[in-house]
Chains A and B, each alone.
Chain A
Amino acid sequence: MRWVETRHGRRQREPGRPALRFTRRLRARRRGVSLRFEMRSTPQEKSADPGDRERPDESQLLAELRAGSEEAFAKLVVTYHSMLLRLARMYVSDRAIAEEVVQETWLGFLESLERFEGRSSIKTWIYRILINTAKKRRSKDRRSIPFSSLADTSGDRAETVDPDRFHGPNDRYPHTWRYPPSDWDTVPEHRLLSNETLAIVDRAIDDLPPAQREVITMRDVEGFTSEEVRNALGITDSNQRVLLHRARSKIRRALEMYFEEERV
């Protein structure tokens, strides 16, 4: 049962590094699930970011699904369920509702299976169904994000780095660092990779404006390519990049504050 590690090649845990406590627990739970599905084989390793352009051939998997292979379906669920849940939670605030949205997404996927022609990857297809399903549900959830705001880059004037950290235009060395960043190489590895650090990242993502949260979750957490994000969200490449830039900059800032605190 190695699929937890291999869902995304880039997220494989380095050997010798302790698995996170909660991951271990999830793994145990998932083992139960996969037995239930009678999964026998491990899914193929995927390349780091299988984009739409160079995606693996999915026709075999599709044929198996259409032939009613439970194993093929289980494989798909194992591969994408976590991603769908995380993404669904961006649209509906309540976890239970997000889980329902994901369940409905799977049912929608099954119903659309005959129509699916493989012009996009299965991943992009499922994600589109998720967005539509979430749209239907959002009216029932008062705290949910209006969809029109999702790809909106206006209204966020936050700087990449606080301008006060640079020398001013009339200083001796204009626009150079006044308060330079410190070297994170000096942060001990166990601190760097601790659950606490990951919790900081998680919280910082939660605090982002919706559009930035959406893009960074798809790109950096779930490993979508920029092309997949563009296709799924219907935004331009530069729009996508601006959102990603702002989001990453804020996560960096949150980490910086956290590591600085630790140093004192």
Chain B
Amino acid sequence: MNDAMTCRDLVELVTDYLEETIGATDRARFEQHLQGCEQCSIYLSQMRLTIRLTGRLTEETISEEAADELLHAFRSWKQRA
């Protein structure tokens, strides 16, 4: 029998769990803990949302000058090639 996972253990394993690199035994303990612990379930959804929000950071844009320069660079590269 394995010891039950504590809340404090669980938060350390969240990334391993989300990355699916967690071992089968720990995964089972992790999921078992989640079923009985609303607070850790909330913690896990906070982490998921954190990842989602990070993914929404806006794109940097290319300036027109930079785009012009690149286009010129491409044309001269083409001529040399």
A residues neighboring B (CB under 8 Å): 4, 7, 10-11, 20, 22-23, 26, 29-30, 32-33, 36-37, 66, 68, 70, 73-74, 77-78, 81-82, 85-86, 99, 102-103, 106-107, 110-111, 114, 160-161, 163, 166, 174-177, 180-185, 192-193, 197-198, 201-202, 205, 216, 220-221, 223, 226, 237, 241, 244-245, 248-249, 251-252, 255-256
- By a CB distance below 8 angstroms, the chain A residues around B39 are 176-177, 180-181
A180 and B43 CA atoms in complex are apart in Å by 8
Closest Cβ–Cβ distance, residue A256 to chain B (whole Å): 7
- By a CB distance below 8 angstroms, the chain A residues around B12 are 160, 245
Inter-chain pairs besides A252-B50, A255-B50, A256-B46, 4 sampled, C-beta below 8 Å: A37-B67, A166-B8, A184-B49, A201-B57
Nearest A residue to B54, CB-CB: A220
Nearest A residue to B74, CB-CB: A73
A202 contact from B9, B40, B57, B75, Cβ within 8 A: B57
- By a CB distance below 8 angstroms, the chain A residues around B54 are 201, 205, 216, 220-221, 248, 251
A159 and B62 CA atoms in complex are apart in Å by 38
* CB pair B56 A174 closer than 8 Å: no
A23 and B59 CA atoms in complex are apart in Å by 8
* CB pair A106 B55 closer than 8 Å: no
**Counting CB contacts under 8 A, is B1 at the interface?**
no
A98 and B77 CA atoms in complex are apart in Å by 23
A7 and B56 CA atoms in complex are apart in Å by 12
* CB pair A103 B66 closer than 8 Å: yes
Closest Cβ–Cβ distance, residue B66 to chain A (whole Å): 6
Nearest B residue to A100, CB-CB: B66
A82 contact from B11, B45, B62, Cβ within 8 A: B62
**Counting CB contacts under 8 A, is B24 at the interface?**
no
* CB pair B50 A107 closer than 8 Å: no
- By a CB distance below 8 angstroms, the chain A residues around B37 are 176
**Counting CB contacts under 8 A, is B47 at the interface?**
yes
A255 and B75 CA atoms in complex are apart in Å by 46
Interface CB pairs A-B, < 8 A, 21 = A22-B58, A23-B59, A36-B64, A36-B71, A37-B67, A73-B71, A107-B77, A160-B14, A163-B8, A177-B7, A182-B42, A183-B42, A183-B45, A185-B45, A201-B57, A221-B57, A241-B16, A248-B54, A251-B50, A251-B53, A252-B50
